């Protein structure tokens, strides 16, 4: 959630470099930000503010070749300047930024107060800088940070800078830190996307690793033992261009339009990773699909696809609840964890517990080298490219595409799966055409001021309903709920009043008749029926045409919902890239 960035190098505008890095981390979500540099006369100077960075500058900071910065998502303490990072030691010689939650901060704080330390903020993070300061009386900075970090309970990352020094120290356990290697400059960040304008050569810190960084050298240590470690750099496939909006006004719209090519690329991947995943599932004794938010709905959709196409039962669970399913895991159980970022804390904690049960862990992630990627026995990439908008679109569609192909591979009909996926890609292209966009824009204008929207479907249209409802509420702040159409009579129908928009998915499969019947029930109670189907029906008040693609129809149906959510956000003057209170990467519980 919080974003961290540190720079040391030959450039003297470290403050601007750090601020630019923070801007590239904005999609992670934040409510305040700050930058510190070691400048004139060896003094650390700090610039902090509440709200978005926007057009803010750091011109008040001294020229410097080293700096650190942070975007904060408030957990301990309100959204104020004093609670924003970086935090300073009492003597103002040490500056620190933090991601995570220090679970034992209150105990540490009490002891530090008795040792004479004065606290400025309400945060748990400030404890760390005073702890480093206390240890610095006996040890050098690297050893002080290492020993301080070992005293912290919880999953955390720190980056620390000292006045009159050209070096940074970063340490991680369960919270992401990436080192970027440049020419006479090196950097650290919470996400590799913040580094790609400088370098594509990186190293992802593993748990309990600490790194000492100056402009020409990077030294890695084991946090537990303090011993040096060797490491292997990797080169990222994507560069800065992949993280730019280009001709589009918003990242979300750009990422929606990228989806047909992503689907096609997955279908035509000659390495056929989904065949390998299918084989792993075949050899396991029970499979659990696990995800959070959007990824959880991909898991639910996968359970329908595996059942219908491959006649294979899989379980699914929300990441935060999966820990309560662990008693059913055994040796050779398979946990397939889905995550866009690969850093979702609820997923990471659950799968680590699953590994203690001797379960096999596979992941489907969109970020190479992420924590979940490193934690897993088997790694599968979504292959959607960098996703910058907070609300996931193309990563979700990529997950669905892989799960669809895997279900066909389990059936032994991989080529049929490719054909189905290519049909889905064609259907999405048609939806993104002039007529499709015009129809969705018109619908958005018509319903933009309503208070409630309901989305219903059966079979795999049920997880589609949940995902579309999530996108609409995230983007437009309209209360929107998705339901299984068969549950209407069990209470949901009491919510329908005259004019209530009801989106009904009606693909031409075995659910069509029942979905139409549900639409009639909703209309009889005054609902305004928005039918999403390949042909119109008299019960529809508004029809969105989506071409069927067999089981792949779930893909264009969800893309319709993404587009509607986007244009509702535009109509309501909401920011579709950074909706309020949300973060792209949820790295704390």
User: Per residue in 5-58, pLDDT tens?
Assistant: 999 999 999 999 999 999 888 877 778 899 999 976 778 999 999 988 888 889
Does residue 43 lie in a domain region? yes
The residue from 214, 241, 268 where one domain ends is: 241
- Quick check: is 587 in a domain? no
Establish if 583 belongs to a structural domain: no
CATH number for the domain spanning 382: value is 3.40.50.10490
Q: Is residue 324 one of the residues assigned to a domain? A: yes
pLDDT value of position 242? 59
Please give the average per-residue pLDDT across 457-482, as a whole number.
97
pLDDT at 60 over 60: yes
The pLDDT of residue 240 is 53
Mean pLDDT along residues 127-154: 97
Considering the domain architecture, whether residues 95 and 75 belong to the same structural domain is answered as: yes
In a domain, residue 338? The reply is: yes
User: Is 533 part of any domain?
Assistant: yes
Q: What are phi and psi of 203, to 5 degrees?
A: -140, 130
Average pLDDT over residues 511-521: 94
- pLDDT higher than 70, residue 475: yes
One domain for residues 182 and 280: no
Is residue 580 situated within a structural domain?
no
Q: Is residue 78 part of a domain?
A: yes
CA distance 347 to 341: 11
Same domain, 198 and 336: no
- The predicted pLDDT at position 487 comes to 87
Q: Is the pLDDT of residue 587 over 60?
A: no
- Which of 152 and 43 is assigned the larger pLDDT? 152
Same domain, yes or no: 396 and 321: yes
**Residues sharing a CB contact under 8 Å with residue 557, sequence separation 6 or more, in sequence order:** 457, 461, 464, 468, 505, 507, 532, 546
pLDDT the model gives residue 582: 77
Write out the residue range of the structural domain in which residue 357 sits: 245-432
**Residue ending a domain, choose from 388, 411, 432:** 432
The active-site residue out of 2, 47, 299, 574 is: 2
Is the separation of the CB atoms in 129 and 88 below 8 Å?
yes
Are 58 and 146 found together in one domain?
yes
Q: In this structure, are 31 and 103 located in the same domain? A: yes
Share above pLDDT 90 across residues of the chain, in percent, rounded to a whole number: 78
On whether both 220 and 251 belong to a single domain, the answer is: no
Residue 477 has which token pair? 């702040």
d(CA 159, CA 471): 34
pLDDT, one tens digit per residue, over 215-250 is: 999 999 999 999 999 999 999 876 555 567 888 999
Catalytic residue among 423, 471, 523, 584: 584
Which residues touch 76 (CB under 8 Å, ≥6 apart)? Answer: 83, 101, 105, 122, 123, 124, 125
Q: Are residues 422 and 487 in the same domain?
A: no
User: How many residues are present in the chain?
Assistant: 589
Q: How many CA atoms lie within 13 A of 572 on its CB side?
A: 24
pLDDT of res. 345: 85
Average pLDDT over residues 258-271: 96
Identify whether 498 is a catalytic site residue. Answer: no
Same domain assignment for residues 409 and 450: no
- Indicate the residue among 397, 432, 467 that finishes a domain: 432
Over residues 545-566, the pLDDT tens digits come to 999 999 999 999 999 999 999 9
Q: Does residue 217 share a domain with residue 235?
A: yes
8-state DSSP, 284: S
**Is 584 a residue whose pLDDT tops 70?**
no
- DSSP annotation of 584 reads S
Give yes or no: 2 in active site. yes
**Residues 258, 180 share a domain:** no
pTM of the model: 0.84
Domain count of the fold of the chain: 3
Domain of residue 148, CATH code: 3.60.20.10
Q: Mean pLDDT score of the chain, rounded to an integer? A: 93
Give yes or no for residue 583 having a pLDDT over 60. yes
Residues 394 and 475 in one domain: no
């Amino acid at each position: 959630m919080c974003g961290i960035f540190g720079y040391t190098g030959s450039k003297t505008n470290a403050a601007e470099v750090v601020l630019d890095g923070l801007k590239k981390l904005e999609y992670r979500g934040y409510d305040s930000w700050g930058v510190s540099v070691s400048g004139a006369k060896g003094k650390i100077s700090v610039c902090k503010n509440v709200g978005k960075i926007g057009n803010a500058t750091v011109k008040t900071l001294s020229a410097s070749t080293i700096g650190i910065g942070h975007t904060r998502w408030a957990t301990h303490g309100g959204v104020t300047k004093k609670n924003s990072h970086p935090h300073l030691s009492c003597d103002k010689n040490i500056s620190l930024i933090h991601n995570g939650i220090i679970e034992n901060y209150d105990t540490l704080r009490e002891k530090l107060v008795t040792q004479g330390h004065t606290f400025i903020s309400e945060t748990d993070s400030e404890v760390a800088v005073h702890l480093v300061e206390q240890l610095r009386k006996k040890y050098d900075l690297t050893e002080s940070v290492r020993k301080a970090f070992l005293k912290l309970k919880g999953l955390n990352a720190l980056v620390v800078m000292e006045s009159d020094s050209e070096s940074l120290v970063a340490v991680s356990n369960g919270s992401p830190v990436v080192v970027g290697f440049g020419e006479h400059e090196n950097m650290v960040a919470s996400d590799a996307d913040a580094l790609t304008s400088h370098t594509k050569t990186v190293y992802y810190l593993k748990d309990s690793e600490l790194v000492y960084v100056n402009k020409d050298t990077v030294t890695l240590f084991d946090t537990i033992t303090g011993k040096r470690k060797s490491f292997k750099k990797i080169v990222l496939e994507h560069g800065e261009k992949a993280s730019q909006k280009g001709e589009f006004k918003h990242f979300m719209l750009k990422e929606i339009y990228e989806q047909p090519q992503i689907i096609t690329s997955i279908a035509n991947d000659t390495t056929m990773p989904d065949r390998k995943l299918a084989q792993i599932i075949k050899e396991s004794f029970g499979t659990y699909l696990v995800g959070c938010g959007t990824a959880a709905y991909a898991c639910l959709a996968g359970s329908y696809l595996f059942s219908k196409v491959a006649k294979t039962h899989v379980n699914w669970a929300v990441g935060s609840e999966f820990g309560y399913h662990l008693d059913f895991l055994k040796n050779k159980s398979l946990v397939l964890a889905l995550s866009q970022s690969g850093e979702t804390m609820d997923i990471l904690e659950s799968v680590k517990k699953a590994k203690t049960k001797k379960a096999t862990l596979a992941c489907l992630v969109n970020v190479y080298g992420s924590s979940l990627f490193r934690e897993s026995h088997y790694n599968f990439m979504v292959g959607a490219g960098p996703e910058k908008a907070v609300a996931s679109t193309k990563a979700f569609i990529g997950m669905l595409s892989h799960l669809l192909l895997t279900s066909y591979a389990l059936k032994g009909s991989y080529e049929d799966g490719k054909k189905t996926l290519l049909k889905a890609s064609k259907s999405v292209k048609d939806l993104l055409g002039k007529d499709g966009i015009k129809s969705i824009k018109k619908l958005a204008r018509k319903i933009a001021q309503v208070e409630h929207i309901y989305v219903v479907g059966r079979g795999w249209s049920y997880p589609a309903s949940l995902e579309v409802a999530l996108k609409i509420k995230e983007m437009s702040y309209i209360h929107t709920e998705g339901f299984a159409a068969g549950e209407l009579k069990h209470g949901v129908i009491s919510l329908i009043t005259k004019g209530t928009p009801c989106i009904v998915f009606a693909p031409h499969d075995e659910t069509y008749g029942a979905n139409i019947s549900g639409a009639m029930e909703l209309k009889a109670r005054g609902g305004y029926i928005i039918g999403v189907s390949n042909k119109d029906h008299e019960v529809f008040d508004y029809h969105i045409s989506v071409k069927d693609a067999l089981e792949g129809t779930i893909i264009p149906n969800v893309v319709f919902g993404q587009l509607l959510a986007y244009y509702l956000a535009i109509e309501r003057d909401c920011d579709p890239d950074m909706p309020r209170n949300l973060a792209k990467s949820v790295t704390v519980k």
